[in-house]
Amino acid sequence: MPKQRRIRVKVCLVGDCGVGKTSLIRRFIHSEFEDRYIPTPSTAVSKVELLFPTNHDSEIMLEMDLWDITGQSAFRKFLSDAYFCNATSIVAVCDASRTETLHELEDWISAGREIAGGVQTHTLANKTDLERNPVMNDPMLKQIANKYDAPFYFVSAKTGLNVDFAFQTIAEMILKEILSKLDEKEAVMKKEWEILDTIVKRGKLGASKEYFFTTMKGIAFDTLRSYIDRLEEKGYLRVTWNDATSFIAFATEAGVERAKLGPERIEDEVIDTVV
């Protein structure tokens, strides 16, 4: 059985009233479409789980919380803090048959980014099943795509055209970003463990700067110092400084216990710190 990690992400849909946010979520999760228009009163959350195999002997279950908000812009002010807080991604939806809904997207996106930061952004032009789709030729589409580095997709919640593709691609892009952050973090945590383990193995003798320079070829003093400082802050080391550049580090009891966990436990810790 491959090892499974669960990663939970929050995806916020935005866009004017009636563009089809709720319909797109319904189509993606339940493969259904409803002709009747029932405006979303405030916000609603739907969950979907997507399984991704990874290169290693493991798979990732991406738990996507799809947040849906009313398109009434008057509510934006009141709801936006809670709605966008900790969002992983913003999905901006317009109605391909109404250009004014495209022109409103900038406001929606910037309101979201104000709270969520520079998170991944995607644009969906919905209702492409309708006869006229003026949004397709509107220069604003490219403008938004360039400004926010936001891929755009032409979809229809009614026929299902491109809906699975768009959400799958969004999920893949989110996961790609998380995995690259994980790789960076994992490398740092593995190095941290290696340094701690080196100090633990020295026992009462402790490990000096010179000792690291001989055992870890090429490590820069500033890099070494930042690791030593971090390990000391966490209570794993006791460090004696002879002068500004010369130290001896000893492992504390907590440090000895931490080193015993080994680098293979790091992966689980990294997930907790990144997501």
Ligand X SMILES: Nc1nc2c(ncn2[C@@H]2O[C@H](COP(=O)(O)OP(=O)(O)OP(=O)(O)O)[C@@H](O)[C@H]2O)c(=O)[nH]1
The residues of the shown chain that bind ligand X, judged by CB under 6 A, are 15, 17-23, 34-37, 39-40, 70-71, 126-127, 129-130, 156-158
- Smallest distance from ligand X to CB 33, Å: 7
Partner from Mg ion, ligand X, none binding residue 205, C-beta < 5-8 Å depending on class? none
Q: Are the beta carbons of 107 and 123 closer than 8 angstroms?
A: no
Q: Over 168-213, what HEC string results?
A: HHHHHHHHHHHHHHHHHHHHHHHHHHHHHHHHHHHHHHCEEHHHHH
- Smallest distance from ligand X to CB 84, Å: 16
Residue 69 or 237 having the CB closest to ligand X: 69
Report which residue's Cβ sits closest to ligand X. Answer: 71
- Smallest distance from Mg ion to CB 97, Å: 17
- Smallest distance from Mg ion to CB 120, Å: 22
3-state DSSP assignment of residue 90: strand
Residue 38 or 51 having the CB closest to Mg ion: 38
Residue with tokens 């710190």: 273
Partner from Mg ion, ligand X, none binding residue 169, C-beta < 5-8 Å depending on class? none
Range 53-91 burial, b when 16+ CB lie within 10 A, else e: eeeeeeebebebebbbbbbeeebbeeebeebbeebbbbb
Partner from Mg ion, ligand X, none binding residue 208, C-beta < 5-8 Å depending on class? none
Partner from ligand X, Mg ion, none binding residue 130, C-beta < 5-8 Å depending on class? ligand X
Whole-number Å distance between alpha carbons of 196 and 255: 7
Whole-number Å distance between alpha carbons of 251 and 31: 57
Partner from ligand X, Mg ion, none binding residue 126, C-beta < 5-8 Å depending on class? ligand X
Question: Residue 56, Cα to own-chain centre: how many angstroms?
Answer: 20
Question: Residue 76, Cα to own-chain centre: how many angstroms?
Answer: 23
* Bridge partners (DSSP) listed for residue 43: 69
Interface contacts to Mg ion, rule CB under 5 A: 21-22, 40
Residue 129 or 194 having the CB closest to ligand X: 129
Residue 120 or 128 having the CB closest to ligand X: 128
- Smallest distance from ligand X to CB 226, Å: 48
Residue 17 or 115 having the CB closest to ligand X: 17
Partner from Mg ion, ligand X, none binding residue 204, C-beta < 5-8 Å depending on class? none
- Smallest distance from ligand X to CB 21, Å: 4
Please name the helix (run of DSSP H) or strand (run of DSSP E) that holds residue 116, with its range, or none: helix 105-116
Residue 39 or 53 having the CB closest to Mg ion: 39
Partner from Mg ion, ligand X, none binding residue 18, C-beta < 5-8 Å depending on class? ligand X
How many helices (H) and strands (E) would you count in the chain? 10, 9
Tell me the pairing of strands 43-53 and 237-243.
Answer: unpaired
Residue 18 or 206 having the CB closest to ligand X: 18
- Smallest distance from Mg ion to CB 19, Å: 9
